[in-house]
């Protein structure tokens, strides 16, 4: 079932409930952000009320802010500070009917797909106008007045080159942006190729969002993962109970409904997700037709993954072995936190007598050992390099 917060509810009230329940520790910076998000939802609610075609609309029209006068919010801070949790509460509580929440990379992939579709239609003569940005922005604004982005980061020159014009058009149409990021706006696309062509976007962003630095006291993942077994074996009822206890500790016990990760026009199902963590069975990831791009999208969207029921891999399971190797490599390269239940210890998981995966699996086993160390848990997740 979804979290208890509903449209019109208070983010700050839900935050205080979690503190009272012991799911999270009270933090002054997080509390201030919750209040700021509530204030933004109040403005959005006023906009909706004024726009209704009702006999009372004239009462609110003069006082309510216009869409293009409402500043969104750019929230930045280190990984594990609670940004995503609070933005998700805001999104659920937001009274707007037309709203969209997405990982920023997925949103930009959708934008490029729309641009490509417009250019194809132009060649076919079914649309007019050489510039695809205005119709793409118009379509996005028609679909969502509120855009919520997790992990706002710019690493791709193709994205950097269109952001100024795209968001100028979106803001002109009254779109309100709420985004989380690990860096302040000035650090976006830092040292990127042709950054001078990107910097006008920063001026546009500054004119339409307020910046909130979430300087919380500590990385809350550390407290959730400290003194928690991160690799559990053998499989059985005792391990199942320990994994459930670990999940409750990671998520603070809040509801963890199914979710999806968008990857190039399709979706990868996530059986359970909450508080920036995702829970999978080995079969969900390694027996399904997934690849490196899927695992990278998952690694970017969630800081912590739980992978359950990893079997001993023998002959006839080369595809599963390759996917598991790729999964662990991806999580390792992205410095994700990992909790695993498995049928054997890492160096005993691969027992096939043929194939070339044995050498690669030695590296996987070593990484599984490293990823359960205290040093790994304390390490920060790095920013992707600009290209």
The CATH number of the domain holding residue 294 is 3.40.50
Cis, bond preceding 234 (omega within 30 deg of 0): yes
What is d(CA 102, CA 44) in angstroms, rounded to the nearest whole number? 19
Indicate whether 355 pLDDT > 90.
Answer: no
What is d(CA 207, CA 240) in angstroms, rounded to the nearest whole number? 51
Q: What is the largest CA-CA distance in the chain?
A: 77
pTM (predicted TM-score): 0.66
Q: How many domains does the chain have?
A: 2
Note the pLDDT of residue 111.
93
3 inside domain = no
- The domain containing residue 137 runs over which residues? 11-213
Confidence band of 222 (pLDDT split at 50, 70, 90):
low
Residue 232 in tokens: 């559990």
* Residues 160-178: tens digit of each pLDDT: 889 999 999 999 999 999 9
The reply to whether 110 and 84 lie within a common domain is yes
The reply to whether 238 and 206 lie within a common domain is no
Confidence band of 79 (pLDDT split at 50, 70, 90):
low
The reply to whether 234 and 363 lie within a common domain is yes
By the 10 Å C-beta count (0-12 exposed, 13-18 middle, 19+ buried), 266 is classed as exposed
5 inside domain = no
Taking residues 315-344, what's their average pLDDT?
A: 92
The reply to whether 28 and 170 lie within a common domain is yes
* Residues 180-201: tens digit of each pLDDT: 988 899 999 888 888 888 999 9
Confidence band of 55 (pLDDT split at 50, 70, 90):
very low
- Name the least confident of 93-97, 191-195, 251-255, 329-333: 251-255
Residue 353 in tokens: 């007598």
Note the pLDDT of residue 86.
92
* pLDDT, mean over the chain: 85
More confident residue, 362 or 225: 362
The reply to whether 331 and 279 lie within a common domain is yes
Residue 174 in tokens: 């009254």
Scan for tokens 């050992």, then name that residue. 369
The reply to whether 226 and 337 lie within a common domain is yes
Of the three residues 160, 181, 213, the one that is the final residue of a domain is: 213
Note the pLDDT of residue 114.
94
Of the three residues 179, 213, 247, the one that is the final residue of a domain is: 213
Looking from the CA of 103 toward its CB, the CA atoms found within 13 Å total 19
The reply to whether 82 and 225 lie within a common domain is no
How much of the chain exceeds pLDDT 90, in percent? 51
Which range, 45-59, 123-137, 253-267, is most confident?
123-137
Of the three residues 182, 213, 244, the one that is the final residue of a domain is: 213
């Amino acid at each position: 079932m979804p979290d208890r917060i509903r449209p019109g509810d208070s983010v700050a009230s839900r935050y205080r409930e979690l503190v009272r329940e012991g799911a999270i520790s009270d933090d002054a910076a997080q509390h201030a952000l919750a209040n700021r998000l509530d204030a933004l939802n109040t403005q959005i609610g006023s906009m909706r009320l004024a726009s209704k075609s009702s006999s009372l609309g004239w009462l609110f029209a003069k006082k309510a802010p216009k869409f293009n006068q409402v500043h969104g919010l750019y929230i930045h801070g280190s990984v594990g500070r609670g940004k995503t949790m609070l933005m998700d509460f805001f999104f659920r509580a937001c009274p707007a009917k037309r709203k969209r929440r997405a990982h920023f990379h997925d949103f930009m992939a959708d934008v490029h797909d729309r641009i490509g579709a417009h250019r194809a239609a132009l060649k076919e003569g079914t649309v007019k106008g050489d510039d695809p940005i205005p119709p793409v922005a118009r379509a996005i604004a028609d679909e969502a007045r509120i855009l919520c982005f997790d992990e706002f980061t710019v690493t791709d020159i193709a994205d950097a080159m269109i952001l100024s014009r795209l968001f100028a058009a979106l803001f002109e149409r009254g779109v309100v942006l709420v985004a989380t990021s690990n860096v302040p706006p000035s650090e976006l696309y830092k040292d990127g190729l042709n950054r001078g062509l990107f910097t006008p976007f920063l001026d546009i962003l500054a004119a339409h969002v307020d910046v909130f630095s979430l300087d919380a006291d500590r990385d809350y993942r550390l407290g959730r993962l400290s003194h928690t077994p991160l690799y559990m074996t053998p499989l059985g009822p005792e391990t199942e109970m320990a994994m459930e206890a670990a999940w409750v500790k990671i998520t603070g016990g809040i509801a963890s409904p199914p979710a999806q990760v968008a990857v190039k026009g399709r979706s990868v199902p996530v059986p359970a997700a909450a508080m920036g963590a995702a829970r999978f069975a080995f079969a969900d990831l390694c027996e399904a037709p997934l690849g490196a791009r899927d695992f990278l999208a998952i690694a970017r969207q969630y800081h912590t993954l739980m992978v359950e029921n990893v079997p001993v891999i023998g002959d006839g399971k080369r595809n599963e072995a390759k996917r598991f190797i790729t999964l662990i490599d991806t999580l390792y390269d992205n410095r994700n936190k990992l909790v695993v239940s498995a049928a054997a210890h890492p160096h005993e998981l691969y027992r096939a007598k043929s194939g070339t995966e044995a050498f690669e699996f030695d590296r996987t086993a070593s990484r599984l050992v490293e990823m359960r160390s205290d040093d790994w848990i304390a390490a920060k997740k790095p920013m992707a390099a600009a290209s």
